Amino acid sequence: MKNILILNILILSNLCFCQKIHVKYLYVRSEIATLYEDLYIDKNKVMSRQDSVIQFKNQNMSSGNITAFKPSKSTRAFYYISTINDQDKIERDFFFTSPVNGNNPNDNYFIHDVVLKPKWSIDEKSTKKIAGYNCIKATTNFRGSNIIAYFAKDLPYSTGPFKFFGLPGLILDLRVENKSYNIWKAEKVEIDYKENINLVPSFKQYPKIEMKKFVELKDQLLLKNNKEVLDNLPTGTRIDYSSNRLGIEKNYEWELNEPIE
C-alpha cells in the first residue's frame, strides 16, 4: 500500500512538471520605463524574453505629473535561457543576450553566466495572491541587492524572471527592497500554452563571451563615459562617482567582496 501511494505521488508530480507554463510579468525597469517579460517553461527548459518595446512615462515638466506613455524606438528583445536542475545543485548556467553599449543598435552579445543559487529565507506566514495563485514570501541578497520574492508552491518550478531561481515554486512577484523600480509582477499565468516557442535559441550572429568579460567591457565603457564628462567640465572640477553599478547586479562572485574600482 505504501509503495502504491509513493508511486501515485510521483506520477502526479511528473504530470504537473510536464505542463507548459507561460507567465507574463510587468517589469518596472526604472522610474520612467516599463516593459513586459514573458517566461516560458517546457519540462525543464526555461526561456524568458524581455519585450522589445519599452513604455516611457511622458512627464509634464511644469507640473511633474505623468500625462501619457510612449513606446521607445528600440526593436531589440532580450533573452534569458536556463535549465531547471537538481535542487541540491548550488549553481545554474544562464545564457542571455545584452549589449555593452545600449545606445548602439548593432552592439549585441550572447553571454554565459554561472549564477550561484541564492540563499533564500522563506516566511510561510507572509502570503498574498498573485495571478490567482497563493504565494509565499522569501528574501535573499542577490549580487549586492536585497530581494523580496513571492513564489507559488502550486507551480513546482524552481525558476522566475531574469536570473532568479532556487525556491520550491515559481516566482510570480520579485522586487528590490525599498525601490519603486526593478520590479517583476506576474499579470497572467497560462497553463499549457499553444504558442510554438523555441526555448533554446542559439543567437549564432552574436559574439559569445563569458560573464566576467562582459562585466569588464561594461565597466570600461562606464569609466570612458565618466572621463568624457569630466573632460568637458571646467579645470579642477571633481565628480564623486558612485562605485555601485547600475541595475540589480552590483557585485559578482569572482570579485570576492573586493571594492569595485
Is 235 a domain residue? no
- Measure the CA angle with vertex 28, ends 55 and 135; round to 5°: 135
Is 245 a domain residue? no
Alpha carbons 117 and 166: distance in angstroms, whole number = 6
Is 194 a domain residue? yes
Predicted confidence (pLDDT) per residue in 41-58, tens digit: 999 999 999 987 778 766
Is 195 a domain residue? yes
Q: Does the pLDDT of residue 239 top 80, yes or no?
A: no
Smallest CA-to-CA distance from 147 within 126, 124, 177 is with: 177
What would the mean pLDDT of 219-235 be, rounded to a whole number?
A: 74
Q: Which pTM value belongs to this model? A: 0.82
Predicted confidence (pLDDT) per residue in 68-126, tens digit: 444 444 457 899 999 998 877 899 999 999 999 877 878 899 999 999 999 999 999 99
Range of the domain at 125: 18-209
CATH number for position 32:
2.50.20
* Residue for grid cell 522566475: 160
Predicted confidence (pLDDT) per residue in 195-211, tens digit: 999 999 999 999 999 99
Predicted confidence (pLDDT) per residue in 4-27, tens digit: 444 443 434 444 456 899 999 999
Smallest CA-to-CA distance from 149 within 125, 168, 134, 171 is with: 171
Number of structural domains the chain divides into: 1
Is 218 a domain residue? no
Three-state SS sequence of the chain: CHHHHHHHHHHHHHHHHCCEEEEEEEEECCCCEEEEEEEEEECCEEEEEECCCCEEEEECCCCCCEEEEEECCCCCCEEEEEECCCCCCCEEEEEEEECCCCCCCCCCEEEEEEEECCCCEEEEEEEEEECCEEEEEEEEEECCEEEEEEEECCCCCCCCCCCCCCCCCEEEEEEECCCCCCEEEEEEEEECCCCCCCCCCCCCCCCEEEHHHHHHHHHHHHHHHHHHHHHCCCCCCCCCCCCCCCCCCCCCHHHCCCCCC
Q: How many other C-beta atoms are found inside a 10 Å radius of the C-beta of residue 123?
A: 11
What would the mean pLDDT of 172-199 be, rounded to a whole number?
A: 95
| Residue 33: per-residue pLDDT | 86
Contact 147, 177 (CB under 8 A): yes
Which cell is 206 given?
A: 552574436
Is 98 a domain residue? yes
Is 254 a domain residue? no
Is 232 a domain residue? no
